[in-house]
Amino acid sequence: MHGETTIRTWTKLGNTASNGSSTITLLEQVDWSIGSQIIIATTGDFLSQQESEVRRIMNISSDGLTLTLDEPLRYTHLGVTLDLNATWIDIRGEVGLLSHNIIFQDEFAVQTCYLGRYGEEIGSDQFGATIMVSQDMITANGTQQVILRLSNVELTNPNNIVENNAVAGSTHYGYWYRLLDTPSGASFALYPNYSPYTQPFGRFYNNSVHSSGRFGVWIYPQYSPTIYGNPSPPQAVFDGIVSWKNRKGFEWVKSNAIQIRNAFAFDNNDVGISCITAFDYQSRWRSSLLGNGSSVVDSVIIGDTGGSSNPIIPLVAGLVGRQML
């Protein structure tokens, strides 16, 4: 279903919006309507989920950049760019439009929603969406070759495209690749011999995540990409992730052939980027680990950018490569 289009459904703050302010300045022009509801995302730490604020637009400047709100802000929302040794770091809260032409609302508060039937659509896409207050946000369960844009994502099949998303204020995970031995839920009856954790990788490009309670990106419990049975496949490349002020920026567990490329991980509480594997797992997949093993390339990890009110001292490290017995 497609409703009336807008220039954009979300943007970022052009300047910092301080607590007590009744106006916000946007980074990009919008054509939203007076009376529409918006959400201003938290830019606090991994425990700041309550700092995302919903407001209604009372007035819009002629250039579409300044919004007057119905109530003053309770929290400060950052909109700054830092220059750290010629590395430019963007720390800006997202502002999303909540008033849309088409609204889907579930009547029953059940975890499985429509008991897996939503996962039977092949080749679907989602774009221009702003989603809030949902247990798993967007869950791609039992889907193949789905394209997800502008949404918060949990994936149970790696052979999907995830690009140009902004995730903020999740209580647990920003992007979770939950890859199991077999499909879960109602999808198991449809694909009992399907193995999600060995499927080829789709695409993960130009996504951001911040202020998540646990992980910005989490690959768990495992991932061993293959292509038509080839034991040494091309690497699954996570390109251009920006992960900040989460508990952990990016972590993958018991996975081989994972590459983190062009990443920015900063101001994360425990660790910036972490790889956790196991000795038995490493021996089992030694051919692909040695030939196309996990790596972090062309990336920047910063413990504390100085943009927070309190110093950030990562509890573990910036970059971790860990093995388990």
pLDDT, one tens digit per residue, over 142-176 is 444 444 333 468 899 999 999 999 999 999 999 99
Q: Are residues 73 and 202 in the same domain?
A: no
Q: Are residues 135 and 243 in the same domain?
A: yes
Residue 156 domain flag = yes
Average pLDDT score, the chain: 82
Q: Are residues 125 and 165 in the same domain?
A: yes
Whether the pLDDT of residue 209 is over 60: the answer is yes
Whether the pLDDT of residue 212 is over 70: the answer is yes
Residue 14 domain flag = yes
**Can you give the pLDDT at residue 134?**
40
Q: Are residues 175 and 305 in the same domain?
A: yes
Distance CA 106, CA 97 (A): 20
Q: Are residues 38 and 182 in the same domain?
A: no
Q: Are residues 250 and 156 in the same domain?
A: yes
Of the three residues 30, 65, 97, the one that is the final residue of a domain is 97
**Can you give the pLDDT at residue 217?**
97
**Can you give the pLDDT at residue 119?**
38
Residue 184 domain flag = yes
Q: Which residue, among 319, 1, 10, has the nearest Cα to 167 in the 3D structure?
A: 10
Residue 111 domain flag = no
Q: Are residues 260 and 197 in the same domain?
A: yes
Distance CA 60, CA 67 (A): 5
Domain span at 54: 10-97
- Mean pLDDT over 58-62 rounds to 98
Other C-beta atoms closer than 10 Å to the C-beta of 298 total 9
**Can you give the pLDDT at residue 274?**
93
- Mean pLDDT over 103-128 rounds to 46
Q: Are residues 175 and 308 in the same domain?
A: yes
pLDDT digits (tens, 9 = 90+) for 115-127: 443 333 333 344 4
What letters, b where the CB count within 10 A reaches 16 and e where it falls short, cover 100-113? beeeeeeeeeeebb
pTM listed for this prediction: 0.82
Other C-beta atoms closer than 10 Å to the C-beta of 166 total 23
Residue 174 domain flag = yes
Residue 245, H or E segment: none
Confidence of residue 139 (pLDDT cuts 50, 70, 90): very low
Q: Are residues 229 and 310 in the same domain?
A: yes
- How do strand 87-92 and strand 53-60 relate by DSSP bridges? unpaired
Residue 109 domain flag = no
pLDDT digits (tens, 9 = 90+) for 229-287: 565 667 899 999 999 999 999 999 988 888 999 999 999 999 999 998 755 566 666 66
Of the three residues 62, 97, 132, the one that is the final residue of a domain is 97
**Can you give the pLDDT at residue 88?**
86
Of the three residues 46, 62, 97, the one that is the final residue of a domain is 97
Q: Are residues 187 and 74 in the same domain?
A: no
Residue 110 domain flag = no
**Can you give the pLDDT at residue 189?**
77
pLDDT digits (tens, 9 = 90+) for 295-304: 899 999 999 9
Q: Are residues 91 and 130 in the same domain?
A: no
Q: Among the listed ranges 131-135, 160-164, 211-215, which one has the minimum average pLDDT value?
A: 131-135
Q: Are residues 178 and 215 in the same domain?
A: yes
**Can you give the pLDDT at residue 283?**
64
Distance CA 238, CA 253 (A): 15
Phi, psi of 50 (to 5 degrees): -70, -5
The token pair that represents 40 in the structure block = 């201003």
Distance CA 297, CA 308 (A): 27
Tally DSSP H helices, then E strands, for the chain.
Answer: 3, 27
Q: Looking at the 3D structure of the chain, how many domains does it have?
A: 2
Residue 3 domain flag = no
Confidence of residue 225 (pLDDT cuts 50, 70, 90): confident
